Amino acid sequence: MQDNRESTAATSLAVMAFMAGGHVPGEGAYGERLSRGVAWVIRQQKPNGLLVSRNSRGPMYSHGIASLMLGEVVGMLDGKLADSAEDALEKAIQVTLKAQNIRKPARFDGGWRYQLTSTDSDLSVTGWQLLALRAAKNVGCDVPAENIDRAVSYVKRCSVRGNNGFGYQVGGGPSPTRTGTGILALAVCGDHQSEEVMGAAEYLLRTPLREGQSFFYYGAYYCTVGLFKVGGKHWEQTHPRMFDMLLRMQNVDGSWPIGRHGESSAGRVYSTAMAVLALAVEYRYLPIYQR
């Protein structure tokens, strides 16, 4: 997702950042740009349905993020672009379901990994696919309940013993970023108050995300939106600190600095889009933000 390389993931995150601020394709000052961005992502779809613009060591990341964007935007489009987006989303979701259904050991069942044919799973890739499936289901795509249930079960297996946050894979240790991912992945499926979610929310009160941590912007997005979904004291006690931290980091030109520790190659479009997506959660303009 470098600034000088086209990416379905970076483009989709940028489109969603505009939408999170209340802008929609085809209307207003940014409407034409948003429509062009959506159309460009659709044109990158491969014959097999994968939404990637170039070769990648982990194409399921870009595919999941682009699928989520199409699920969020398709109801805001008109005419041929709406038809194209709906068709692309249907094809993309079939790819996601096919990748989930690859035969895997029981501990990895229900999740996703970097490749279409991966036989293991991790929480990070799984989070994006689950968000995409929920967004697609919300706009009428055929997403069997069994697939959602299997994904939820995998996420819960990544919960650290004692409901103490979430690990990258089953049996792994927690971090704020992984924990935010687990919370949001379950919350979008209506699981706001399970032992795993509430234990993870308590973990984030004790161990909040801090500037400079690994995959900071990734964590800012997932922790903020996840805790917004949880609500109550967990949201009230964390969002002022998170918002203040993000606003202090903003550059004078409106962008956010390129991330470090795992995000250094992602570029400023990525860091800025992720920061905006976190900050705009209370506007609730994106369907995925609804409680």
Q: Domain holding 262: CATH number?
A: 1.50.10.20
Question: Which pLDDT belongs to residue 55?
Answer: 66
Looking at the structure of the chain, the number of domains it has is: 1
Output Rg (C-alpha) for the chain, integer angstroms. 18
Domain-embedded: residue 102: yes
Domain-embedded: residue 3: no
* Tokens linked to 59: 């194409």
Question: Which pLDDT belongs to residue 192?
Answer: 86
Sign of the CA dihedral with 263 first, then 222, 174, and 227 last: positive
**What is the extent of the structural domain holding 174?**
8-289
Domain-embedded: residue 51: yes
Residues contacting 258, CB < 8 A, separation 6+ = 264, 266, 267, 268, 271
Alpha carbon of 215 to those of 245, 261, 263, 282: distances in Å?
15, 6, 6, 23
* Tokens linked to 262: 């795992």
**DSSP structure class, residue 256:** -
Instruction: Name the nearest CA neighbour of 253 among 225, 272, 267, 274.
Output: 272
Domain-embedded: residue 56: yes
Question: Which pLDDT belongs to residue 134?
Answer: 97
**Residues β-bridged to residue 122:** 112
Domain-embedded: residue 46: yes
Domain-embedded: residue 2: no
Q: 3-state class of 225 per DSSP?
A: helix
Q: What is the pTM of this model?
A: 0.96
Mean pLDDT by 10 residues, the chain (291 residues): 68 98 97 98 97 84 98 97 98 98 98 97 98 97 97 98 95 97 97 94 97 96 98 97 98 97 93 98 95 81
Domain-embedded: residue 1: no
Domain-embedded: residue 43: yes
